[in-house]
């Protein structure tokens, strides 16, 4: 039986990844900063909380990370920990850098020190690419030009992972994931706010949702499919970084209109665009090129944008 350790198991991706690994016969362990106080709502929602062993660990404490690795003795480690909100990173830039970049470095160093045979997956992000011309599909060779503290931290963690792979021979790789949603997405994300607002209006509440820039365009996929790509990356003979995306881009207005329309509502009657909610610097357009993940991982997204909206509206609950 393979044993996996998921850092940041309480999040959306950690929960779906735990479910996937359990279905493949893994013994699954996960970490949270304070496991006793963490409700692990995602694991509970998926009905797998009692099948996962959780540990308290801070990714910023080297000894703490090392002790968990030594206790669990995993063959695979998935690093999904750290601040996950671009917007929040503008308010807490130091925390973003510490929890993402320094956290990744602590993990890599712990693996190098304890057991270099452990395979390590690092969660990179499409935000690292920054602004690209409209129509551009980013691939593994597209330069990084981060435009937020979150993206800057993710870029640092990405290159630290590549450095440990090259310098120390670790099986360490990064998945450059574009936006991926699910019913487990936390409330602070704009997509979840849209879904909640539409449900409330449909239930009869008289509310006006305030939202930022509707012109931004993103490559949106379905989270349970994206964690499959993470697993596939650690099953290869050699470690490589891959872009994980759908290859399509849709505006936030399309997302908003689609969600409200599925409740037979016109979003224009219930939503107000507030320029004060615009980010200090934002990416107008992003789209990924998943050619290499299709050719080398044999991974292809199966859920279209319209199907994704159907799932989110049907299965997301307050």
In this prediction, residue 311 has a pLDDT band, given cuts at 50, 70 and 90, of very high
Phi, psi angles (nearest 5°) of residue 58 = -100, 125
For the cut 80, the answer to whether the pLDDT of residue 318 exceeds it is no
Question: In sequence order, what are the residues at sequence separation of 6 or more whose Cβ sits closer than 8 angstroms to the Cβ of residue 117?
Answer: 75, 171
d(CA 133, CA 85): 24
Cβ burial, residue 95 (10 Å; 0-12/13-18/19+): middle
In this prediction, residue 295 has a pLDDT band, given cuts at 50, 70 and 90, of very high
Catalytically annotated residues: 125, 127, 150
* Torsion-angle region of 56 (φ positive above 0: left; ψ -120 to 50: alpha; else: beta): beta
Q: What is the pLDDT of residue 276?
A: 84
pTM, whole model, 2 decimals?
0.96
pLDDT-wise least confident of 167-176, 208-217, 272-281: 272-281
For the cut 80, the answer to whether the pLDDT of residue 170 exceeds it is yes
For the cut 80, the answer to whether the pLDDT of residue 281 exceeds it is no
DSSP label of 188: T
In this prediction, residue 87 has a pLDDT band, given cuts at 50, 70 and 90, of confident
DSSP for 46-87, written as a single string? TT-GGGEEEEE--TT-HHHHHHHHHHH--SEEEE--S---HH
Tens of pLDDT, residue by residue over 31-84, are 998 888 889 999 999 999 999 999 999 989 999 999 999 999 999 999 999 988
Q: What is the pLDDT of residue 304?
A: 97
- 251: enclosing H helix or E strand: strand 250-251
For the cut 90, the answer to whether the pLDDT of residue 275 exceeds it is no
d(CA 196, CA 226): 24
- 29: enclosing H helix or E strand: strand 27-32
In this prediction, residue 187 has a pLDDT band, given cuts at 50, 70 and 90, of confident
Q: What is the pLDDT of residue 188?
A: 84
Q: What is the pLDDT of residue 67?
A: 96
How much is the mean pLDDT over the chain?
A: 95
In this prediction, residue 128 has a pLDDT band, given cuts at 50, 70 and 90, of very high
Q: What is the pLDDT of residue 280?
A: 76
More confident site: 25 or 281: 25
Kindly state the tokens that stand for 268.
């224009």
Kindly state the tokens that stand for 219.
């490559």
All domains of the chain in start order, with CATH: 3-181+221-248+288-296 (3.40.50.720), 190-217+249-286+305-315 (3.90.25.10)
């Amino acid at each position: 039986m393979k044993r996996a350790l998921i850092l940041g198991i309480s999040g959306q991706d950690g929960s779906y990844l735990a479910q996937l690994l359990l279905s493949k016969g893994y013994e699954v362990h996960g970490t949270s900063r304070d496991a006793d106080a963490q409700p692990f709502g995602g694991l509970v929602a998926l009905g797998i909380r009692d099948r996962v062993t959780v540990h308290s660990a801070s990714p910023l404490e080297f000894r703490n990370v090392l002790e968990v690795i030594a206790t669990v003795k995993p063959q695979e480690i998935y690093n999904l920990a750290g601040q996950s909100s671009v917007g929040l990173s503008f308010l807490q830039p130091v925390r973003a850098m510490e929890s993402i970049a320094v956290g990744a470095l602590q993990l890599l160093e712990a693996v190098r020190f304890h057991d270099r045979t452990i395979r390590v997956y690092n969660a990179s992000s499409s935000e690292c690419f920054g602004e690209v011309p409209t129509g551009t599909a980013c691939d593994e060779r597209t330069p990084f030009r981060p435009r937020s503290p979150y993206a800057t931290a993710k870029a640092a963690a990405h290159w630290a992972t590549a450095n440990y792979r090259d310098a120390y021979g670790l099986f360490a790789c990064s998945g450059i994931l574009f936006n991926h949603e699910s019913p487990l997405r936390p409330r602070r994300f704009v997509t979840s706010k849209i879904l909640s607002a539409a449900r409330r209006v449909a239930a009869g509440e008289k509310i006006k949702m305030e939202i930022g820039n509707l012109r931004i365009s993103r490559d949106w996929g379905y989270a349970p499919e994206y964690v499959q790509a993470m697993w596939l990356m650690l099953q290869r003979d050699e470690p490589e970084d891959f872009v994980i995306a759908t290859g399509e881009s849709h505006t936030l207005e399309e997302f908003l209109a689609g969600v409200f329309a599925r409740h037979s509502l016109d979003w224009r009657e219930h939503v107000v665009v507030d320029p004060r909610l615009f980010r200090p610097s934002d990416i107008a357009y992003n789209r990924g090129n998943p050619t290499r993940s299709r050719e080398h991982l044999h991974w292809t997204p199966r859920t279209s944008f319209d199907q994704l909206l159907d799932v989110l509206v049907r299965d997301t609950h307050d």
